[in-house]
């Protein structure tokens, strides 16, 4: 069978991207930060050496260290499920389940904390990390809570930022202070318990 210019599948130009190399680079970046290397100390040379790739392999994918760090830290956050919208309670529980999974990963918590502690020295980078990893989740939670106010499920005078901090902060407290080693050690139904306790003070009287 012959092919014509119209039927022939076009091949992408340039060298194909290697998923294995990208994963190695991302993991090397996270490992170095998790071992206590500050953002200032982190270098493309160190990342390349840890990942077992050349510097040019990194620069073909990321134009600078900052872009790589932001992408690497973004992988630490689990994707949020689609909020079903059937009830505020159901959506908040689904959201907290994602927070629980992220919170019980000690490596992820350590890496994120080290990176965010560099705010004074690297304010632009930390702001980019916030925009990539925190703001999308905050926007989802804000939409859920405002919908609850609109439907009458929640009090009209709700302070949305405080509610978000209370929900996420409570789950993070369990992860950081109770000494759980892995998700299996979290109490059964902890997301439901947190949501139900807080909703008792958030619903109209």
Q: pLDDT of 110-120, one tens digit each?
A: 888 888 887 77
* End-of-domain residue from the set 11, 41, 72: 72
Residue 98 and residue 176 in one domain: yes
Confidence tier at 3 by pLDDT (50, 70, 90): very low
**Residue 11's CB: how many other CB atoms inside 10 A?**
7
Q: Which two tokens stand for residue 203?
A: 């619903």
Tell me, what's the pLDDT at 5? Answer: 40
d(CA 131, CA 57): 26
CA angle 98, 70, 132 (to 5 degrees): 50
| Residue 62 near residue 71 (C-beta atoms within 8 A) | yes
Answer yes or no: is 105 within a domain.
yes
State pTM to two decimals.
0.76
142-167 average pLDDT score? 95
Tell me, what's the pLDDT at 195? Answer: 94
Residue 89 has pLDDT above 70, yes or no: yes
Residue 35 and residue 103 in one domain: no
Q: Which residue has the tokens 């970046």?
A: 29
Nearest Cα neighbor of 137 from 173, 110, 107, 165 is: 165
Confidence tier at 15 by pLDDT (50, 70, 90): very low
Mean per-residue pLDDT of the chain: 84
10 Å CB burial of residue 181 (0-12, 13-18, 19+) is exposed
Q: Which two tokens stand for residue 70?
A: 């932001």
Domain hosting 57: range is 19-72
Residue 93 and residue 58 in one domain: no
Residue 106 and residue 159 in one domain: yes
Tell me, what's the pLDDT at 4? Answer: 41
Tell me, what's the pLDDT at 78? Answer: 83
Q: Which two tokens stand for residue 46?
A: 């160190």
Residue 190 has pLDDT above 80, yes or no: yes
Answer yes or no: is 77 within a domain.
no
DSSP 94-111: HHHHHHHHHHT-HHHHHH
Please state the domain count of the chain.
2
Residue 121 and residue 161 in one domain: yes
| Residue 163: partners with Cβ closer than 8 Å, 6 or more residues away | 145, 198, 202
């Amino acid at each position: 069978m012959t092919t014509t210019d119209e039927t022939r599948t076009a091949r992408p130009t340039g060298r194909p991207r290697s998923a294995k190399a990208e994963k190695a680079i991302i993991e090397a970046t996270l490992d170095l930060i998790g071992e206590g290397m500050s953002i200032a100390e982190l270098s493309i040379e160190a990342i390349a050496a840890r990942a077992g790739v050349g510097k040019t392999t990194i620069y073909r994918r990321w134009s600078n260290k900052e872009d790589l760090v932001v992408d690497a830290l973004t992988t630490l956050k689990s994707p949020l499920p689609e909020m079903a919208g059937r009830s505020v309670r159901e959506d908040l529980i689904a959201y907290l389940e994602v927070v629980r999974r992220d919170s019980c990963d000690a490596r992820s918590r350590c890496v994120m904390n080290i990176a965010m502690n560099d705010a004074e020295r690297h304010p632009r980078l930390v702001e980019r990390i916030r925009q990539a990893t925190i703001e999308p989740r905050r926007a989802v939670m804000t939409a859920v809570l405002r919908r609850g106010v609109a439907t009458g499920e929640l009090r009209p005078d709700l302070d949305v930022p405080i509610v978000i901090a209370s929900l996420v902060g409570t789950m993070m407290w369990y992860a950081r202070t109770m000494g759980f080693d892995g998700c299996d050690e979290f109490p059964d139904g902890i997301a439901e318990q947190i949501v139900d306790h807080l909703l008792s003070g958030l619903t109209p009287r």
